[in-house]
Amino acid sequence: MSESLIVERAGRVVTLINNDAPYNRMTLDFMDDLEKVIEDLSTDDSVGAIVIRGAGDEHFSVGMNLKQTREGAERKGSFEALLDQRLRVISMIENMPKPVIATLYGYCLGGGLELPLGCHFRLAAAEGAKIGLPEMDLGGVPAWGGSARLARCVGRDAALDIILRAKKVSGPEALRIGLVQEVWPNHELQERAQDLAQELAQQPSGAVAGVLKAIVEAGEKPLAEGIAEERRAVVANMNTEDAKEGMRAFLEKRPPVFHK
């Protein structure tokens, strides 16, 4: 693995850091490393939550290093194959059986928003964040699933406003339109992400995986299919040790201790 991706571990929480400060471009090496790490983490039962951030405290990411487009197409065999990898990695994150958190600060542009849109939680800085899909200014369209996921996240009208005007929204504006779940002072953002990750990592992992699968897939299915997926999650989880511990703890009037 190259030095483009730093992996840190604190208990059941893993933090993935794009190591290309200050702009944290999503280089070819970074995407290759990220794909491998996400694949490994998805089946690692000792990991309960993941945080994705950029190196330093200036910017989350300005997206793909456009100077590497030709090299990337040659490395992958075609431009379409290069694009497919980006789409595949973000889909892998979105379909992880454990929650993934992104921290948005400074520039979060292009792929620097499209990757967080695949995460389950997005926390933004209260000041200085510039979040958007500026491809229109380059004569292009979002290429990593940004238009579809942004519309699903904030609604059609807000997505059109952001994309067609190449608009960059602040952290508080992102919270108002539902693009992020929380906004924190810049100096508290990373600590809050770690606290949230630790909180989520303590939840019963089987139940978390079932809820993530049901909710993520529900956005692409009719209501009846979404309810059926939820039922499958309930049945799969009901006899797990964590489910039994949760019921015992409730009856004994004590906090549950999962992952024993």
Cβ neighbour number for residue 71 with a 10 Å cutoff: 13
Q: Per this entry, what is the length of the chain?
A: 260
Q: How far apart are CA 247 and CA 19, in angstroms?
A: 43
114 is known as an active-site residue: yes
Helix H, strand E, coil C: the string for 134-186 is HHHHHCCCCCCCHHHHHHHHHCHHHHHHHHHCCCCECHHHHHHCCCCCEEECH
199 is known as an active-site residue: no
H-state helical runs in the chain: 28-42, 69-76, 79-94, 111-117, 146-154, 156-164, 171-176, 189-201, 205-218, 223-237, 241-251
Place of tokens 């950029």: 54
In Å, what is the CA distance from 194 to each residue of 12, 34, 52, 92, 137?
Answer: 11, 19, 10, 21, 35
Q: How far apart are CA 232 and CA 162, in angstroms?
A: 37
Main-chain phi, psi angles of 25, to 5 degrees? -60, 150
Q: Calculate the CA dihedral of residues 20, 26, 32, 34 and round it to 10 degrees.
A: 80
Catalytic site residue from 80, 94, 135, 182: 135
DSSP one-letter code for 78: S
Main-chain phi, psi angles of 151, to 5 degrees? -65, -40
Catalytic site residue from 94, 114, 173, 229: 114
Place of tokens 């508290």: 188
Catalytic residues: 114, 135
